A and B are shown apart, each in its own frame.
Chain A
């Protein structure tokens, strides 16, 4: 079974500064995918960034980047130049690529507050 742990229930950051959200996971699979989803209040979960486990290069999407440490099973999200619109619940998730259903296993989430 796969597990995802987000050790920070809440984080806060000043606008324009950088924040890192932590995520560790456990899996017996060698081929898997990792995701960060963002959920603004009362809104749908939106994909922020994804990482393929077989790629060593860390994924980057504009102000969002990850630090993927496969041996340590760590997948942290860095948000640079934080904006007020970044305030949301952030979920780390792992996708099982074995079998045929590609289900997601989520962490409990980190609530990010951005202070003006």
Chain B
């Protein structure tokens, strides 16, 4: 099973700042990684797939990068609605797995 390790566990930032989330895979997964956003009481929302492709309707301030084992989700100029938990997910190998999540809170 591929283990995805997300860091940091918590990110404290202010609106307008830049956010950077990290996801490291236990083995190479090429570019087979997605990112999701989840707000309290809501279902997850797909933001990024194949490491760097934005899902339909996702604002341009969200971008993804990485290949192999190390991946990054970046949000430029945070909006108030961006404060949420972010998860990475790999689809390279069964079983599909998610990272433990990074919670971004308002500083």
Tell whether A and B belong to one assembly. no
